[in-house]
Amino acid sequence: MILYTTAAAVLLRDATQIERDAEQSLRVWILIGQTDRYGDALHRARVLRSAAATRSIWERREILRNAGFEIRSPRSL
């Protein structure tokens, strides 16, 4: 997943959206035997919330990078 900002409010908004999407997709994932996708989505949301709780921007970026998120500058668009 690519992120263009590490602002806490944006990370929390994205975490909420991931959780909402995962809840809506859970039935389908159960039917096709891919329930691990639900766990992956909740893990991503948990990482975003953890990063948002960190005050240091450097630590926030490290948490996100270690979890597999890619952080790009909005200028690179």
Is 77 within the bounds of a domain?
no
pLDDT tens track for 1-34: 889 888 999 999 999 999 999 999 999 999 999 9
Is 59 within the bounds of a domain?
yes
**Please, what is the end-to-end C-alpha distance for the chain in angstroms?**
15
Structure tokens of 11? 């990370």
More confident residue, 77 or 68: 68
More confident residue, 37 or 75: 37
Structure tokens of 13? 């908004």
| Boundaries of domain holding 15 | 2-72
Is 26 within the bounds of a domain?
yes
pLDDT band, very low/low/confident/very high, at 77 (cuts 50, 70, 90): low
Residues 48, 11: Cα–Cα separation, whole Å: 6
Q: Which of 2-6, 8-12, 40-44, 59-63 has the lowest mean pLDDT?
A: 2-6
Number of domains in the chain: 1
- Amino acid 74: pLDDT: 74
Contacts (Cβ under 8 Å, ≥6 apart) of 2: 69, 70, 71, 72
